[in-house]
Chains A and B, each alone.
Chain A
Amino acid sequence: MFDILHNYWELLLMGQYPHGALGGLAITLILSLLGLGLAFPVSILLALARISPMAIFRVPATMLVYTIRGIPLIMVIFWVYFFLPLLIGRTITGFTTMLCTLVIYQSAYLCEVIRAGIEALPKGQLEASRALGLGYFRTLRFVILPQALYNMMPSMISQFVSTIKETSLGYVINVPELTFAANQVNNQLLTQPLAVFSLLALIYFVLCFSFTELADYIERRITRKRAGRARKNSGNATGGLPFVTLPATAASKENS
């Protein structure tokens, strides 16, 4: 297995680059990051539409989210792969296809995470902000989203981990990502599929495990911070407000 890593690490890491297209792990990571990065603003808009009192926003957004969550990712890949070129009248690369797919698919899931984050905030936060004269968008920007997104950070990292794994499906439309690269290695070696695909699994595992650990770490930190705050106050002095603050740097400065 380590022989394979030793001989083919460049292919696995970055595909044919610099003699050809970039691929391998590099493309897997770029796809995941871009996918989540682009899905993020879309999912905020979707989440706002989902909780909107106006049916004209809420109904289509809800239908979209339910549809996408109800079909396998590979169906979305096929749709984008076959229909998007028809729609825009020109062919698109596998990379773009996969990126569009991930943005569509991840937006639907991330939207639900963000919606949960917003709905978990006490109603008083919204009311206080509105009572101070902040309009809908200012309330979102300065009061609701900073709290909701911070609280939801662990879930969003988990979502990122799923995105990493989902990029492997790009294999079916010839996106030269990590799984594709591993398959190329397997085709060259022919006799060691077990070793090649074990190596592939290991790389995915290390990658995803690191991010899962990061999510756990952040979650523990948020929990610890809340507990710390609760201990400092005698009893239930905060009246049920969530003990959310800015990251530790800002908070610990105050404590010292």
Chain B
Amino acid sequence: MIIFSDVNKWYGNYHALVNVSAQVKRGEVVVVCGPSGSGKSTLIRTVNRLEDIQQGQIAFDGQDVNASGLDLNKFRTRVGFVFQQFNLFPHLSVLENIILSPTRVNGLKRAAAREKAMGLLERVGLSSKADAYPGQLSGGQQQRVAIARALAMDPPAMLFDEPTSALDPEMVGEVLNVMKSLAREGMTMMCVTHEMGFAREVADQVWFMDAGTILEKAAPEKFFSRPEHPRAQRFLSDLRSH
């Protein structure tokens, strides 16, 4: 579903991604973790080309992401992306946030888009908030709306870039629950997150990144009990020690 082959990215002289090769299979949930500055967010952002790469290849659902003839906007409607800061549009109601892309990019009729959006809001448990504005919602609610917005185009895979890092602790659960139910429904997911409980519960693979490379790829039970790479061992013990 998502295949990275020898991906390299530089910011000026800084080598942000170093020979990354990895694969997310259809229906799989991959959790990407690692210390800050390790390149996790950069990696996930290369999939819908929020970041360009200088070398290598990324394929999404069989499509070369960096192909020159690619209709980028059309392509992006097929990649669900959820941001750390939610990034809902504050001047639009919850419903308008969700139907913006379906109606304006895919030309879906407003009524049909509305109906679909209401279904998605129900799925994330927020049907009563359809006409509210983002500023009236809590962070957790906003992030759930952002997930519904990303789902509105029926993407074959969803990308999450630290979806719970900007949330107050008591709101993390509601967002993770939505993500877990998505995972159980068989959605292909790539999540950059520090929620190790989530990784343990639903991930099929954990990728540990440091300094722009994936140091370890393992099933969660193996990664958490017997990490191989010393850097991963240190990372995990730092997480546990407080």
A251 and B133 form a contact (CB under 8 A): yes
Q: Number of residues in A with C-beta < 8 Å to the partner?
A: 38
**B83, B100, B153: which contacts A124 (Cβ < 8 A)?**
B83
What are the interface flags for B82-97 relative to A under an 8 Å C-beta threshold, 1 for contact and 0 otherwise?
A: 0101111111010000
Chain A nearest CB: distance from B104 CB in Å? Answer: 6
CB closest chain-B residue, reference A132: B101
B48 and A131 form a contact (CB under 8 A): yes
> Does A242 belong to the interface (CB within 8 Å)?
yes
B135 and A243 form a contact (CB under 8 A): yes
Q: Number of residues in B with C-beta < 8 Å to the partner?
A: 42
What is the number of contacts between chain A and chain B, taking CB atoms within 8 Å? 119
Contact residues of B between 98 and 156, Cβ < 8 Å to A: 100-101, 104-106, 131-140, 142, 146, 149-150, 153
A239 and B166 form a contact (CB under 8 A): yes
B48 and A239 form a contact (CB under 8 A): no
B90 and A124 form a contact (CB under 8 A): no
What are the interface flags for A85-111 relative to B under an 8 Å C-beta threshold, 1 for contact and 0 otherwise?
A: 000000000000000000000000000
**A125, A133, A138, A251: which contacts B89 (Cβ < 8 A)?**
A125
Which residues from chain B contact A129 at a C-beta distance below 8 Å?
89
Stretch from B59-67, B70-78, B205-213 forming part of the interface with A: B70-78
Chain B nearest CB: distance from A226 CB in Å? Answer: 8
**B105, B132, B167: which contacts A254 (Cβ < 8 A)?**
B132
Which residues from chain B contact A253 at a C-beta distance below 8 Å?
131
Contact residues of A between 238 and 253, Cβ < 8 Å to B: 238-246, 251, 253
Give A255 to B50 CA distance when docked, in angstroms: 36
> Does B223 belong to the interface (CB within 8 Å)?
no
* A132 touching B132 in the complex, CB below 8 Å, given contacts A125-B87, A233-B138, A234-B138: no
A127 and B50 form a contact (CB under 8 A): yes
A150 and B135 form a contact (CB under 8 A): no
Chain A nearest CB: distance from B90 CB in Å? Answer: 5
**A125, A134, A233: which contacts B135 (Cβ < 8 A)?**
A233
A binding-site residues for B, Cβ under 8 Å: 122, 124-125, 127-135, 138, 142-143, 146-147, 150, 226, 229, 232-235, 237-246, 251, 253-255
Known: A133-B76, A246-B133. 15 other contacts (CB 8 A): A124-B87, A128-B81, A131-B50, A132-B153, A147-B90, A229-B135, A233-B135, A233-B137, A237-B168, A238-B135, A238-B142, A241-B87, A241-B88, A241-B90, A245-B133
